[in-house]
Amino acid sequence: MITLTVNGRKKKFAGAPFTRLIDALREEFRLTGTKEGCGEGECGACTVLLDGEPVNSCLIPACSADGRRIETVESLGTPEKLSRLQESFLVCGGAQCGICTPGMLMSAHSHLKAGGKTDDESVRTALAGNLCRCTGYQDIVKSVIGAAKKGAKRK
Amino acid sequence: MRGDPRSMTVLSPRSAAEAVRSLAENAGALPLAGGTDLMVVWNLGLLNGKVVVDLSRVGEWKKISVAKNAVRIGSLVTHSEIQRHAVIRARFPLLVQACSVVGAAQIQNRGTLGGNIANASPAGDTFPPLAVYEAVVHCVGPDGKRVLPIDMFFAGVKKTNLKPGELIEAIELPVPATAPSRAAFRKVGTRAAQSISKTMFAGLLWLKKDGTVADARLSFGSLAPTVKRLRSAERLLAGRRLDAATAAAAAAVLTDDVSPIDDIRSTRDYRLEVSRNLLVQFLEGRKR
């Protein structure tokens, strides 16, 4: 039996051990915020955090994540109370069709949480593994920098 | 067809010895490290029904150990961990640079150095640095341990000289006796992140006090079925003064050692032109 800590809660996964993490999250745990784009590690739509680091959940079989900590987009905020980063995406127009958004949010969240630099180039490097086919990159980067500035102000 | 998880048998060894045994007892089983290559193929449905030896619990191979004359990087160390390691950053900066351009963060967090070389892509980003640092690969299999120099490790496109049942324990980098006078790594691809390279260069250069070349180690990736050292250019450079004529002469013998092809990523002509420019730029000591 595989045990995963998903968004702070210990969960047992009884499916086939080679089930991809994205499928375990979406189909078994009904956490459908995580999206599948390319299914080959190019687009980053399926990005979740594994022990705090961004990874492509389409490239990880559940057996390799056994005993580890996973955070999905559902861990950030709720529709009633968005996280600062989510709020900033809303305000800055960082989400268009929405497919890349959960992955963008998780990569950006991990970058900011780790104390990553918030200049344009550093944010772009942190998001380099996430593709937006609406090509809304300018506003996505603006959203991340905006959230970081707001965070700094509140401190 | 997609990958079918129910068709797969997963073995989860808890130690190196158990991993070797699992692989020996299951001919044709697939070792799984970070999965960034294997899972792409599996997702396409091309590996259904196979036995997988999941190495994620083999702690012995996740360590980096530093000795006076060498750094030993466990095969399961990720590209991200290499970038964060202070000693590797100080002594093997070209490897660190290469690890920072593998895919993007998501791939660097999962992909391992052992997995990268085991996959043996002609375009493996870490290979030119491993070639100029003269890395050695520590292998272990049912018949015991074996050490392969990096230039004996690769056998062709996606082929290695690992024997059936052999796994990679670690990659060892000997610290050069003296620090190089000059070092550079360059990757040329369609974009900075996620792209597979058209050409890739790593170079180390030692100069004497009089400005002549004491030693040069030069390597290109993506220009042949496997990574190549430029033995011909290296020989030519030894003892010479570095000027425009020397650099041009070294670039002129590039094709003694490499044989680029036309493929979906680039053409032979483009690869050669850019590669010669990278080499000349390095030898003339120009920044990009």
Mutation target to probe the A interface, by most A beta carbons within 10 A, among B106, B107, B110, B191 is B106
Q: Which fold has domain B59-174?
A: 3.30.465
Quick: pLDDT tens for B235-284. Answer: 999 999 999 999 999 999 999 999 998 888 899 999 999 999 999 999 99
The verdict on a CB contact (< 8 Å) between B40 and A41 is yes
* Domain ranges within chain B, ordered by starting residue: 5-57, 59-174, 182-283
Nearest residue of A to residue B191 by CA position? A128
**pLDDT > 70? residue A154:** no
Nearest residue of A to residue B43 by CA position? A39
Average pLDDT score over residue span A1-27: 97
- Give the C-alpha separation, B124 to A40, whole Å: 17
The verdict on a CB contact (< 8 Å) between B54 and A64 is yes
The verdict on a CB contact (< 8 Å) between B56 and A63 is yes
User: Which chain A residues touch B109 with a CB distance below 8 Å?
Assistant: 50, 53-55
The verdict on a CB contact (< 8 Å) between A41 and B107 is yes
pLDDT at A152: 77
- Give the C-alpha separation, A103 to A129, whole Å: 9
Query: Which amino acid is present at B46?
Result: L
Contact B230, B202 (CB under 8 A): no
End-to-end, the C-alpha distance of chain B in Å comes to: 46
**Chain B contact present for A52, CB below 8 A:** no
pLDDT band at A63 (very low <50, low <70, confident <90, very high): very high
Nearest Cβ partner for A129 among B32, B35, B103: B103
For the domain covering B5-57, report its CATH number: 3.30.43.10
pLDDT at B154: 98
pLDDT at B288: 65
Q: Which fold has domain A84-154?
A: DNA polymerase; domain 1 (1.10.150)
Residues 6+ apart with CB under 8 A from B91: B71, B173, B175
Contact A118, A148 (CB under 8 A): yes
- ipTM score: 0.96
Quick: pLDDT tens for B54-96. Answer: 999 999 999 999 999 999 999 999 999 999 999 999 999 999 9
| Token representation of residue B216 | 């040069």
Nearest residue of A to residue B50 by CA position? A18
| Token representation of residue B278 | 């990278």
Q: Taking the mean position of all CA atoms in its chain, how far away is CA B31?
A: 18
The verdict on a CB contact (< 8 Å) between A128 and B43 is no
Within 24-43 of A, beta carbons closer than 8 Å to B belong to: 39-42
- Give the C-alpha separation, A124 to A138, whole Å: 10
Nearest residue of A to residue B39 by CA position? A59
Beta-bridge partners for B148 = B137
Contact B271, B189 (CB under 8 A): no
Q: Is B16 helix (H, G, I), strand (E, B) or coil?
A: helix
- Give the C-alpha separation, B165 to B53, whole Å: 11
User: Which chain A residues touch B80 with a CB distance below 8 Å?
Assistant: 53
**pLDDT > 60? residue B43:** yes
Q: Which fold has domain B182-283?
A: Enolase-like; domain 1 (3.30.390)
The verdict on a CB contact (< 8 Å) between B109 and A58 is no
Mutation target to probe the B interface, by most B beta carbons within 10 A, among A56, A66, A104, A107 is A56
* Domain ranges within chain A, ordered by starting residue: 2-75, 84-154
Pick the CATH number of A2-75 from 3.40.109.10, 3.50.50.60, 3.10.20.30, 2.40.40.20: 3.10.20.30
pTM of the model: 0.96
The verdict on a CB contact (< 8 Å) between A50 and B32 is no
Within 85-104 of B, beta carbons closer than 8 Å to A belong to: 103-104
pLDDT band at B1 (very low <50, low <70, confident <90, very high): low
* Total count of residues recorded for chain B: 288
